[in-house]
């Protein structure tokens, strides 16, 4: 099953006999709140216009727990996550398509959570809402209650110790911007740098200028140069498990399974006992 879907394919499926459940997960990583300015309001953006039938999902409240020692976007309580998905109409036998405002990070977080908890058919709208050429609506639908029950997988998730070990035994990719990996700047978390042994792999290099993913062959070639290929154990982390989910999605498009360290740098850098590497080399 492909992990992504084009806007034209989505339009065709929405008009078909078995339309997917459609989730709108618009969200932005914003430093506005720290500067005393209002943060991005995903629900307001949704209510101003969304793909017909889409249900809004709040990343901070429904796809994550409250910030704390486990990071800025730790795993959600699975009972609460399941209830949120059922309210959104998600059932185990119905396909799901997720989209966001175009960056793809938030949609990928929802995709990863649903896949890790056992949903068999989840895709992300490639390029997000900007690629949609059909009408938008402002009415808020009330979907029929779904039946999805989260059943976390035995693989696909890393904790801090697992990420540290994988950086030595396999390939651990750091999906943040290169300057954060090198420790030159750190606008959010307590310390700059990266997990020792991790390889810099900024997630924005997985898409073209139009925000769509590179082809599977191009992505496979990119990850191969970073040491990640089929048959290699691969993990990903980022700042707080959001952009890292987008990298896991890109790896899936390339046909390479990967695990996600959800706590990511926001958890790792908050623990003074964890070592930190700086500079361009994994170390």
Which residues are catalytically annotated?
238
3-state secondary structure of 160: helix
* Distance of alpha carbon 45 from alpha carbon 160, whole angstroms: 35
Phi then psi for 187, rounded to 5 degrees? Answer: -80, -10
CB-based burial label for 277 (10 Å; 0-12, 13-18, 19+): middle
Mark out the alpha helices in 126-215 (DSSP H runs).
160-169, 178-181
Look up residue 115 and give its two tokens.
């896949």
Whether the Cβ atoms of residue 174 and residue 238 lie closer than 8 Å to each other:
yes
* Distance of alpha carbon 119 from alpha carbon 95, whole angstroms: 9
Look up residue 152 and give its two tokens.
């976390």
Q: For Cα atoms 143, 148, 151, give the angle at the middle one, nearest 5 degrees.
A: 155
Contacts of 79 (CB under 8 A, 6+ apart): none
Handedness of CA 108, 113, 115, 121 (dihedral sign): negative
């Amino acid at each position: 099953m492909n992990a992504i879907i084009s806007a034209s394919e989505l339009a065709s499926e929405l008009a078909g006999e078995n339309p997917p459940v459609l989730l709108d997960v618009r969200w932005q990583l914003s430093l506005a709140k720290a500067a005393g300015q209002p943060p991005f309001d995903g629900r307001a953006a949704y209510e101003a216009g969304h793909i017909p039938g889409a249900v809004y999902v709040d990343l901070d409240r429904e796809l994550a727990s409250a910030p704390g020692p486990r990071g800025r976007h730790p795993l959600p309580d699975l009972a609460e996550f399941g209830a949120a998905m059922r309210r959104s109409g998600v059932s185990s036998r119905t396909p799901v398509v997720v989209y966001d405002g175009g960056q793809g990070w938030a949609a990928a977080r929802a995709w990863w959570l649903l896949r890790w908890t056992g949903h068999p058919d989840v895709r992300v709208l490639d390029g997000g809402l900007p690629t949609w050429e059909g009408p938008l609506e402002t009415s808020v639908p009330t979907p029929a209650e779904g039946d999805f029950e989260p059943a976390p997988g035995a693989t696909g998730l890393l904790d801090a110790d697992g990420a540290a070990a994988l950086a030595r035994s396999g390939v651990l990719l750091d999906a943040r911007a290169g300057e954060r990996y090198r420790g030159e700047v750190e606008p959010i978390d307590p310390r700059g740098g990266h997990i020792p042994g991790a390889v810099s792999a900024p997630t924005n290099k997985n898409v073209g200028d139009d925000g769509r993913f590179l082809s599977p062959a191009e992505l496979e070639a990119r990850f191969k140069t970073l040491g990640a290929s089929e048959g290699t154990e691969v993990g990903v982390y980022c700042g707080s498990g959001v952009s890292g989910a987008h990298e896991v999605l890109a790896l899936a498009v390339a046909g390479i399974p990967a695990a996600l360290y959800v706590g990511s740098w926001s958890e790792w850098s908050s623990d003074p006992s964890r070592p930190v590497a700086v500079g361009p080399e994994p170390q």
